[in-house]
Amino acid sequence: MEKIEIARILKPRGLRGELKCAVLFNKIDIKDKTVFIDEKPFKVLSASVQNGFLFIMLEGVSLEIAEKLRDKIISIPASEVKLERDEILTSDLIGFAVVGDKGKNFGRVIGFDFIGDSDIIITPLAQIPNEDFFVLETNMATKTITVNEDALDEITVL
């Protein structure tokens, strides 16, 4: 079964085993559903997003277990994700070529980071916010992302 990564566990919160997580995918309602950590299923007892973090209680997770789950990934079956017509999963963009509108080659997408509500495209030469101001076009046919070089001159180009 193909899965979508939705969060990375940061640490326990409180004494009951609640988990504070970095949100990796925010298009899914997971309340009363089953999520997976290392292929093991867990029923979601409660989930909420506050200040850009996911706080989640899972059935059978105590404070002791929560401590052992630090840095683990929470995922859901891909079949539960319903995308809008023009939406793309970030995981589908791994390996795409990233080129500037003036011809600079930034290499291929090697991953993503998530800061607040923004995705950051990571290439060998740059970390690029995945926002309209920076990303001019994503071409699924040619597997190319075209970025605004002038905008990138003012941010984190490695």
Shared domain for 76 and 117, answered yes or no, is no
Question: What's the total number of domains in the chain?
Answer: 2
**Nearest one of 3, 136, 154, 23 to 76, comparing CA atoms:** 3
The model's pLDDT over 2-53, given as tens digits with 9 standing for 90+, comes to: 888 888 899 999 889 999 998 777 666 787 889 999 999 999 999 988 877 8
| Helices of type H across 32-124 | 63-68
Q: Which of 52, 80, 108 is the last residue of a domain?
A: 80
Q: pTM of the entire structure?
A: 0.64
Q: How confident is the model at residue 157 (pLDDT cuts 50, 70, 90)?
A: very low
Residues contacting residue 55 through CB under 8 Å, at least 6 positions apart? 13, 18, 19, 20, 21, 46, 47, 48, 49
Shared domain for 76 and 11, answered yes or no, is yes
**Nearest one of 115, 24, 33 to 72, comparing CA atoms:** 24
Run of H or E residues at 152? helix 149-152
In a domain, 85, yes or no: no
Phi-psi region of 122 (alpha: psi -120 to 50; beta: other; left: phi over 0): beta
Q: Which of 60, 80, 100 is the last residue of a domain?
A: 80
Q: Which of 25, 45, 80 is the last residue of a domain?
A: 80
Q: Is the pLDDT of residue 120 over 70?
A: yes
The model's pLDDT over 82-96, given as tens digits with 9 standing for 90+, comes to: 777 777 777 778 899
Q: Is the pLDDT of residue 136 over 80?
A: yes
